[in-house]
Amino acid sequence: MSMRHTMKARRALTAVAITTGLVFTVAGCGGGEDDKSSSGASASATGAGKGSEDKPKDKETEAPPQEAVLAEVKGGDDITLTINSAVRDEGGFVTVEGKVQNGSGGRWSAPGWQGSERELADNSGSMAGSSLVDKTGKKKYLVLRDTDGRCLCTQFSGGFRAGDEKGWYAQFPAPPAGTTQVDFQIADMPPATIEITDGE
């Protein structure tokens, strides 16, 4: 074989070798990116799974806070009087709020709860006959009323059926600022000692 043919053959082999090398290099680079993307995807999936595991579970539904009870008394026909708040307002009033429950098993119309004053007679079944007694200052505070004798209090229209529970309120002139404890009284119910708090 001549020298010329030998050189051509060598060049051809060199070209084939270079081309083959380039093909493998390109394939290698491409494979690396696939590996990276697949490993990145799996890492993301793992991260997502991990994140969801790390999230705190929803807290169990908490029961609503129970309403404060300042006092509770029972009287006569299995009637329960509950007092939940007694707040001194800036205007010089005390607003007392609570609930009345009829446990008598029959209908109840709050007889005598409107008080014995002639001026309050038209209030029928209501909290009109309630009062606050400041034993220290030796004073009794009657429920406030308008010029027509209507009390600033709840009226129980229709009375109570068996098992009924109704909310109520009554407003009184405020005792002196230093007086924080009074007795709430109405009709034949036992007196209920309550604490007066200042409103915001």
Domain boundary among 62, 88, 105: 62
Task: Please tell me whether residues 87 and 148 are part of one structural domain.
Answer: yes
Provide the domain count of the chain. 2
The mean pLDDT value for 129-157 works out to 92
| Strands of the sheet with 181-185, listed across from one edge | 139-142, 131-134, 181-185, 192-195
Calculate what percentage of the chain has a pLDDT beyond 90.
Answer: 49
The mean pLDDT value for 179-193 works out to 95
CB neighbours of residue 62 within 10 Å: 6
Task: Please tell me whether residues 78 and 177 are part of one structural domain.
Answer: yes
For residue 110, is it left (φ>0), alpha (ψ between -120 and 50) or beta?
left
User: 20: which 2 tokens?
Assistant: 């083959």
- CATH number reported for the structural domain that contains residue 154 in this entry: 2.60.40.1240
> Which range marks the domain in which residue 20 is found?
1-62
Task: Please tell me whether residues 116 and 19 are part of one structural domain.
Answer: no
Q: What is the pLDDT of residue 7?
A: 47
Task: Please tell me whether residues 16 and 39 are part of one structural domain.
Answer: yes
Domain boundary among 13, 29, 62: 62
Confidence of residue 103 (pLDDT cuts 50, 70, 90): very high
Q: What is the pLDDT of residue 53?
A: 52
Looking at the predicted structure, is the pLDDT value of residue 49 above 90? no
Confidence of residue 54 (pLDDT cuts 50, 70, 90): low
Higher per-residue pLDDT: 124 or 163: 163
Task: Please tell me whether residues 33 and 75 are part of one structural domain.
Answer: no
User: Over the chain, what is the mean pLDDT?
Assistant: 78
Chain centroid to Cα 38, Å, comes to 49
Task: Please tell me whether residues 124 and 104 are part of one structural domain.
Answer: yes
Higher per-residue pLDDT: 152 or 53: 152
Looking at the predicted structure, is the pLDDT value of residue 111 above 70? yes
> pLDDT digits over 14-46, tens only?
444 454 454 444 445 455 454 444 445 444 444
